[in-house]
Structure 1
Amino acid sequence: MTQAVATQRVVVGYKSNTQESHSDKAAAADASGKGEDVGQRLRFEQRTPTGEVVFDLGAEKPKAEVAKILAEFRSDPSVAFVEPEIIMTSLAAAADPNDTEYRKQWDLFETAGGMNVPGAWQKSTGKGVNVAVIDSGYVKHGDLGANVKGGYDFITSDTTARDGDGRDADPADEGTWGAAADCGTEKNVDSSWHGTHVAGSIAALTGNGKGIAGVAGNAEITPVRALGKCGSGSSFDIAIAMLWSAGIDIDGVPANPNPAEVVNLSLGGESNGCPVYYQRTIDRMVARGTTVVVAAGNSNVDVANATPANCNNVITVASNNREGGRAFYSNFGSKIDISAPGGETRRGTDAPGSITTPANGVLSTVNAGKTTPTGAETYAPMMGTSMAAPHIAGLAALLKSAKPGLTPAQIEETIKKNARDLPGSCTGGCGAGIADAARTIESLGTGTGTDPTTPSPRVFGSTSTLRIPDNAPAVTSTINVTGITGNAPANLKVSVDIDHQWRGDVVIDLVAPDGTVYHLKALASADSAANIKTTYTVDASAEKANGTWTLRLQDQARLITGTLSSWGLTF
């Protein structure tokens, strides 16, 4: 349960058997009544793609007032959860520009704190893999631009966005500068070009005789803008950006033509637990096959207090310094999965904001502008878990390119099993160690491309939500399968993600293209547990693989409705 913070918006998840869970009017009326009880005015703003309701408080309210609002909702048995909006910030500290020589990229090749990346390049360079960078957007850079494809701007606040037009198809970084008073800092903040720096670490052009090399120099980057003024952004905007990045349809936004296999989140906010709507968002992404890489945070505290690093089903990345120890600022703890080079342009004992050792930062692509972009592209060292995460996102792209059938869980496990111990000190927990790219890729035993003795599975899916009406005729969702030779396998995997507060009511059938019905789940009236999030195995070897497969769902009891969030077939 997330604690109260000063905020302007809250998100409420109503239980699925309530009118508020599907009626905007009912939700608005409920919030209005609760607002009156605590002396606040709550306005219905939007319903999230995962079904929760966002209420606006009219202005940022102090922590004490927000606590009363949260308590009012939590006292209502029809409310599953309520959580405040969290303002996320980029997790890096910018430094002065540095030279553009590859030899300065200690993070790629040095034996102490580096990640042994060059040894992986003979077997994989990330070709054919798309990495979405959800960050401050992208400013044009000649050492990166050829790998940048598409993108979108999800910032809804005009003040934060600076472009004045809400969500749009232009992910250009408008600059993150801000006055000290606006940003809550001692000094005015210059633009960091943070998203471009992160993208460069992942996929700067390699072998082009210019600048730096990316970890996965042939991967594609989709810039997704969610951080604006002062390097901050709404947790709600970011969650929606995450779904879109993974190829999940968002109302009012054009479909993502190039869904990401990997998503990098070099951002975070304080929270003593992963918000429910964030975990639901991540679970939907991972179910679709998207690997989610998250920076651990720069507060030198247990990562359990940082979101989305404290969520499940993500790869949480701590930062190591050039000597191979935990960077002084890096969060730590049992939720850390892996460490990667994040650098230290100063020590923890130096004055905050000072830059004493720029060569010990991570060098990457930026712009020379202090506020808005100029025509002068350049390079700069930064430090932070923001810099560590893209090293792992790049490594995930190398793995996915080398063996496309790898699942997010397999990618995480492969990276962790092939890590090496930190040669420097680590207090509090730094995960499996420092990632070793060459060792990780070598462990696949694939050479280049997919292992010919182990064909990669083909996954077909649907993320179109479908309401399952109460005690009513069956509803259906379809998937069109193409490009498979011969029959379906004897172990056809059928994954389903269904929200239902009394799952025993639901009957599930798979219908093959020729009309043959495979019964997956029968009526079980005594099964009162919630939700159906599982994978069934079907012997479909008698069926032609290609064609339209149908999932048929029927609620055969009274009182509770449900929703199909996604389903898929693995051949």
Structure 2
Amino acid sequence: MRTPTSPRRALISVAALSAALLTAAAVQPAVAQDSTTRETPAPAARTEAAPGTPAERLIVGYESGAAEATSNKAASADAEAKGKQAGEDVGFSRRLGTGAALVDLGENVTGSDVADVIAEYEADPQVSYVVPDRLNKPLATPNDTEYAKQWDLFEATGGMRVPGAWDLSTGSGVTVAVIDTGYVAHTDLAANVVAGYDFISDTAVAVDGNGRDSNPADPGDWYAAGECGQQTGSNSSWHGTHVAGTIAAVTDNTKGVAGIAHGAKVSPLRVLGKCGGYDSDIIDAITWASGGTVSGVPANPNVAKVINMSLGGSGTCSTATQNAINGAVGRGSTVVVAAGNSNQNAANFSPASCGNVITVAATNRSGSRSYYSNYGTVVDIAAPGGETRTATSDGILSTLNSGTRTPSIENYAHYQGTSMAAPHIAGLAALMKSANPALTPAQIESAVKTNARPLPGTCTGGCGAGLADATKTVQAVKGGTGTGTTYTSTGPVAIPDAGPAVESPITVGGRSGNAPSALQVGVDISHTYRGDLVVDLVAPDGSAYRLKSSSTSDSADNVVATYTVNASAETANGTWKLRVQDLYAQDTGTINSWRLTF
């Protein structure tokens, strides 16, 4: 699982504080590294590139010991003081669920005005980060009943092989938070919808006549020509309802479409309205969805173990958003995000480039990357997203509404987009969590990727581990054909600092046939900077299975985890090895022990 940038590894340039930094331009941090040394620590405060329009608000994270980190009064006084220094009208707006402060810059600020305020915060050693409050948009490419039309679930070529998984799990007991445009009533989904929340704080964006409240109903996100920075207008998308239907539409009810995790519940969290939605609202939605506390919002009665975000914009993941995601994952929620629809490298988009998420690219009916889908090394997995330019029926069919502006009659429609691909993986994650409630977000991601199949078609630029296979993945986490027999290593093995790979063996004998499709590999490694390490399982025939990649930003200690490996192609008997290599100088470690459970 990718992790966020750490000051110990990253050298981030903050010299360019021009208006361009605060617009949709993707400004990349300068990162210097080699194979043997670490970089100079980054400055305590930093700004980051962001999508959307020039900033009207900033998200400010304070060091934990600062009074402003916990006191709204102190944060308000600090905002006022910094505003005076910069010659601008700056005010504290509210506290986000992560503890960061939302700061209002007033109206009609220019890029240089914003840069002046940022410079004041940046110069304060008590500020750990300051980022613009970015505007995000839905990531669907929509156009305008019926399981037989859901090729994305069952077709041999481009489908995700979902029906076989239903014999093992339907997602019961799991709530999936859909952070999106909210929910418009639909009888093919209503039985699986539980209470959510409307997190849109800006009434102009909300359209429903008020700010935050407990009603996540989608009033429509249409806009007229000339609005939202667009020359032409657009009808309401009902985007969140389409996404929710793919995850958990009611199934076996003699109507409409089937949901991937139709035994699960969906909690709609409204963050996108007219022209999109702000990072600050999304951050609070992520926090609340996963059971965190958000000031002024009642406790969440339907904590989600899976979060779907089919939204985003250009610019790399900000520290503010990353902190919210880290908090959600730390509370046990798996976060699934869309890669984006710009036919570009997903590393330049957020939240696709965030750490601790499953980033999903879109494939078409023939199993190739959809022409619009983003790609690249930050993509973890691919799933059906459709491609309606070939035929409307080649899109993803789900629940919708016929209203062009406000809600009208419920219907179904084919959409295309990575917004449609992401809920396929969110649904799969719900199936997995229901089948094995002990799974962590890291284990869910690992199993999804380990059990993927090669793309039937092509993917220029990289589509992660391949096309997700729901049946194989749920079988793997459910236990497959394993017997529960465990084999353990005999002694510790030292890991040399920035040295060659070392191996710890386990000899397996007396078994018949191949290893199971859900071979459990338990690892206990002591190390003072686990991001230095690459960890592989080596089968008796020499085939290597990557358990953990290196990361220049994972500064935590130790690797204590259980990985699920599809080893069904390997003969069970023989000598298996855990291979570990330390790629960077400065920290050392030991393979304390490891085990194989068949």
Distance (whole Å) between structure 2 residues aligned to residue 202 and residue 58 of structure 1: 40
Distance (whole Å) between structure 2 residues aligned to residue 12 and residue 259 of structure 1: 27
**Equivalent position amino acid for 1:57 in 2:** L
Instruction: Tell me the alpha carbon deviations over residues 352-378 of structure 1, each in whole angstroms, 9 at most, x when there is no partner.
Output: xxxx6211111100011001101x110
Who is 1:369 aligned against?
403
Who is 2:242 aligned against?
197
Who is 1:315 aligned against?
358
Instruction: Give the one of 67, 73, 79 matched to 1:25.
Output: 73
- TM-aligned CA deviation for residue 286 of structure 1: 1.0
Matches within 5 A, 1:83-94: 83-94=131-142
1:281 matched to 2:324? The reply is: yes
Who is 1:12 aligned against?
60
Who is 1:213 aligned against?
258
Question: Is the contact made by 1:7 and 1:60 (CA closer than 8 Å) also made in structure 2?
Answer: no
- TM-aligned CA deviation for residue 215 of structure 1: 0.8
Who is 2:474 aligned against?
441
Instruction: Tell me the alpha carbon deviations over residues 290-323 of structure 1, each in whole angstroms, 9 at most, x when there is no partner.
Output: 1111111111221111111111111111111111
Distance (whole Å) between structure 1 residues aligned to residue 296 and residue 77 of structure 2: 25
- TM-aligned CA deviation for residue 67 of structure 1: 2.9
- TM-score normalised according to structure 2 size: 0.71
Is the alpha carbon distance of 1:158 and 1:452 closer, same or farther for their aligned partners in structure 2, counting shifts above 3 Å?
A: farther
**Equivalent position amino acid for 2:455 in 1:** L
Who is 1:303 aligned against?
346
- Higher mean alpha-carbon deviation, 32-41 vs 138-147, is at 32-41
Matches within 5 A, 1:382-393: 382-393=415-426
Question: Is the contact made by 2:95 and 2:295 (CA closer than 8 Å) also made in structure 1?
Answer: no
Question: Is the contact made by 1:340 and 1:392 (CA closer than 8 Å) also made in structure 2?
Answer: yes
Instruction: Tell me the alpha carbon deviations over residues 35-67 of structure 1, each in whole angstroms, 9 at most, x when there is no partner.
Output: 233332111111222221111011253434323
- TM-aligned CA deviation for residue 447 of structure 1: 7.1
Instruction: Tell me the alpha carbon deviations over residues 457-505 of structure 1, each in whole angstroms, 9 at most, x when there is no partner.
Output: xxxxxxxxxxxxxxxxxxxxxxxxxxxxxxxxxxxx9xxxxxxxxxxxx
Question: Is the contact made by 2:168 and 2:478 (CA closer than 8 Å) also made in structure 1?
Answer: no
Who is 1:106 aligned against?
151
Question: 2:323 aligns to what SS in structure 1?
Answer: helix
Question: 1:183 aligns to what SS in structure 2?
Answer: coil
Distance (whole Å) between structure 2 residues aligned to residue 60 and residue 341 of structure 1: 42
Instruction: Give the one of 225, 230, 250 matched to 2:294.
Output: 250
Is the alpha carbon distance of 1:169 and 1:61 closer, same or farther for their aligned partners in structure 2, counting shifts above 3 Å?
A: same
- TM-aligned CA deviation for residue 126 of structure 1: 0.9
User: How large is the RMSD of aligned CA atoms in angstroms?
Assistant: 2.5
Distance (whole Å) between structure 1 residues aligned to residue 557 and residue 354 of structure 2: 18
**Equivalent position amino acid for 2:197 in 1:** Y
Distance (whole Å) between structure 2 residues aligned to residue 276 and residue 445 of structure 1: 35
Question: Is the contact made by 2:98 and 2:283 (CA closer than 8 Å) also made in structure 1?
Answer: no
Matches within 5 A, 1:14-53: 14-53=62-101
**Equivalent position amino acid for 1:320 in 2:** T
- TM-aligned CA deviation for residue 6 of structure 1: 0.4
Who is 2:446 aligned against?
413
Q: Any stretches of 5+ residues in structure 1 without a counterpart?
A: 347-355, 455-492, 494-529, 538-571
- TM-score normalised according to structure 1 size: 0.74
Question: Is the contact made by 2:175 and 2:303 (CA closer than 8 Å) also made in structure 1?
Answer: yes
Distance (whole Å) between structure 2 residues aligned to residue 452 and residue 216 of structure 1: 27
Who is 1:82 aligned against?
130
Is the alpha carbon distance of 1:254 and 1:29 closer, same or farther for their aligned partners in structure 2, counting shifts above 3 Å?
A: closer
Who is 1:137 aligned against?
182
Q: Any stretches of 5+ residues in structure 2 without a counterpart?
A: 1-46, 486-523, 525-553, 562-598
Is the alpha carbon distance of 1:113 and 1:59 closer, same or farther for their aligned partners in structure 2, counting shifts above 3 Å?
A: farther
Question: 2:359 aligns to what SS in structure 1?
Answer: strand
Percent identical across equivalent pairs? 55
Distance (whole Å) between structure 1 residues aligned to residue 111 and residue 266 of structure 2: 38
Question: How many pairs does the alignment contain?
Answer: 447
Is the alpha carbon distance of 1:427 and 1:61 closer, same or farther for their aligned partners in structure 2, counting shifts above 3 Å?
A: farther
Distance (whole Å) between structure 1 residues aligned to residue 483 and residue 402 of structure 2: 47
Question: Is the contact made by 2:271 and 2:278 (CA closer than 8 Å) also made in structure 1?
Answer: yes
